[in-house]
Amino acid sequence: MGRTLAVVGGGVVGSMIAWRAARKGWDTTIYESDRADSASWVAGGMLGCLGEARPGEDTALDLARASARCWPEVLTALADPTITVASDTVLIAADTADAHELATRADYLLGHGLAMKPLSGKDIRSVSPGLGSSVRRGYLAMSEGALDNRALLRALRGAATQAGVEVRTHHVTDVGDLDTDQVVVAAGVGVGRLWPPAPVRAEKGEIIRLRRPPTAPPPPDNVIRARWRGRLVYLVPRGDGVVVGATQYEVGVDTDPEPRAGGVGDLLADAIEVMPGLAEYRVSEVGGGMRPVTPDALPLIGRVDERTVLAAGHGRNGIMLAPITAELVTGHLDGTADPRWSATLDPRRFT
């Protein structure tokens, strides 16, 4: 009998790990519970290497860049053209304070050899004609696009199943109950129940999915990331409309994922101000989910005992970091862990 593996968590990270492990010879089973409020299911799907960069977070930027290099191979293997929904990102600001924040980020990235193209108001309207007249400055992040998160989940699940992965709907409460050689815990905010030392807290996020009626203006061709009077809002195109996101509240662990009226109201108002044509769209879904966040904003990836590997705490970047996470986890399973990241991402680094 071959090596057996249980992956607890059926989101993008867990599915990517299971798919990669199966292709490396592991007899793999995914254990998943309800996906309705999972971070993967309600995500915008942005591949935010530059858009998520923050001055001083050099390690997070390096990790995101490493994962970005993995995505082309992953998408080629999945061979589903519906997954990719945008190729570039436009970052915009509403006022002087917001523009200063974007300029600070651009300078930080330039110091790391990464350039975003400055855009005037005229440039922005050439790239994204539907944006409002109050949008006067911004940047273009080339080759920083977005994926349809639900199409990605379907494709990953199909590829994993084809590779021999079994999927079971079961709420795991103790990894000791799983009869496999190895266990990977990729359970999002639920990781603390399965490995209590995990310093993961829940950050609530809300999104709105808007459907475009035939008479409404088309959605943007690019991802639109706006810093809008101190709040963050993004518009991510879909085949039938736009995903608007995303709020963020630090709420602890295992709290109610239902959307808050105030957060949804702010999102919708900001989105329509950024792109006035969205006022004609239809609200098809309002969703909330829980992002797993760590104290240093880096994921927990590594072995915690001879049988268990963690892959959790990705925060806003679970989809972005899924390929590099799968690569690192299978390295730990096979005893070939990448030394560049082992200490930095060690789940035990806080203990």
Q: Which two tokens stand for residue 1?
A: 């009998």
pLDDT for position 255: 62
Please give the average per-residue pLDDT across 1-21, as a whole number: 93
Q: Which CATH number does the domain housing residue 224 bear? A: 3.30.9.10
Q: What is the pTM of this model?
A: 0.94
The residues near 166 (Cβ < 8 Å, ≥ 6 apart) are 28, 29, 30
Higher per-residue pLDDT: 241 or 41: 241
How many other β-carbons are positioned within 10 Å of the β-carbon of residue 166?
14
Within the chain, how many helices (H) and strands (E) appear? 10, 17
Q: Are 206 and 263 in contact (CB under 8 A)?
A: yes
Task: List pLDDT tens digits, range 151-208.
Answer: 999 999 999 999 999 999 999 999 999 999 999 999 999 999 999 999 999 888 899 9
| Domain co-membership, 117 together with 212 | yes
In degrees and rounded to multiples of 5, residue 69 shows phi and psi of: -70, -20
| Domain co-membership, 97 together with 44 | no
Q: Which two tokens stand for residue 283?
A: 């609200």
Please give the average per-residue pLDDT across 224-231, as a whole number: 90
Beta strands 117-120 and 223-228, pairing class? unpaired
Q: What is the distance between the alpha carbons of residues 42 and 35, in angstroms, rounded to a whole number?
A: 9
Q: What is the distance between the alpha carbons of residues 99 and 121, in angstroms, rounded to a whole number?
A: 12
Q: Residue 263 pLDDT more than 50?
A: yes
Helix (H) or strand (E) holding 333: helix 318-334
Q: How far is CA 202 from the centre of its chain?
A: 15
| Domain co-membership, 214 together with 108 | yes
Q: What is the distance between the alpha carbons of residues 157 and 170, in angstroms, rounded to a whole number?
A: 16
pLDDT confidence of 36, banded at 50, 70, 90? Answer: low
Percent of the chain with pLDDT strictly greater than 70: 97
Q: How many domains does the chain have?
A: 2
Task: List pLDDT tens digits, range 40-56.
Answer: 888 899 998 888 888 99
| Domain co-membership, 71 together with 219 | no
> Cis ω on the peptide bond leading into residue 151 (within 30° of 0)?
no
Beta strands 182-185 and 4-8, pairing class? parallel
| Domain co-membership, 59 together with 185 | yes
265-to-46, 210, 226, 246, 324 alpha-carbon distances in Å = 22, 14, 16, 12, 35
Task: Calculate Rg over the CA atoms of the chain.
Answer: 20
| Domain co-membership, 253 together with 134 | yes
pLDDT for position 254: 45
194-to-96, 172, 189, 270, 344 alpha-carbon distances in Å = 46, 8, 10, 39, 22
Q: Which two tokens stand for residue 237?
A: 């195109």
| Domain co-membership, 120 together with 251 | yes
Q: Which domain holds residue 247?
A: 89-142+201-293
* Nearest partner of 218 among 235, 232, 206, judged by Cα: 235
pLDDT confidence of 308, banded at 50, 70, 90? Answer: very high
Q: Residue 246 pLDDT more than 60?
A: yes
| Domain co-membership, 207 together with 338 | no
Higher per-residue pLDDT: 23 or 49: 23
Q: Residue 137 pLDDT more than 80?
A: yes
DSSP 207-276: EEEEEPPTTSPPPPSSEEEEEETTEEEEEEEETTEEEEE---EEEESS---SPPHHHHHHHHHHHHHHSG
Q: Residue 234 pLDDT more than 50?
A: yes
Percent of the chain with pLDDT strictly greater than 90: 78
| Domain co-membership, 346 together with 207 | no
Task: List pLDDT tens digits, range 312-341.
Answer: 999 999 999 999 999 999 999 999 999 999
Q: Which two tokens stand for residue 98?
A: 């917001």
Q: Residue 135 pLDDT more than 90?
A: no
Q: Residue 138 pLDDT more than 50?
A: yes
* Nearest partner of 186 among 309, 349, 41, 316, judged by Cα: 309
Q: Which CATH number does the domain housing residue 42 bear? A: 3.50.50.60
pLDDT confidence of 2, banded at 50, 70, 90? Answer: confident
pLDDT confidence of 78, banded at 50, 70, 90? Answer: very high
Helix, strand or coil for residue 89? strand
Please give the average per-residue pLDDT across 95-121, as a whole number: 92
| Domain co-membership, 3 together with 69 | yes
| Domain co-membership, 182 together with 305 | yes
Please give the average per-residue pLDDT across 266-283, as a whole number: 96
Reduced to 3 DSSP states, what percent helix, strand and coil does the chain have, rounded to the nearest 5? 35, 25, 40
Q: How far is CA 304 from the centre of its chain?
A: 24
Q: Residue 289 pLDDT more than 90?
A: no
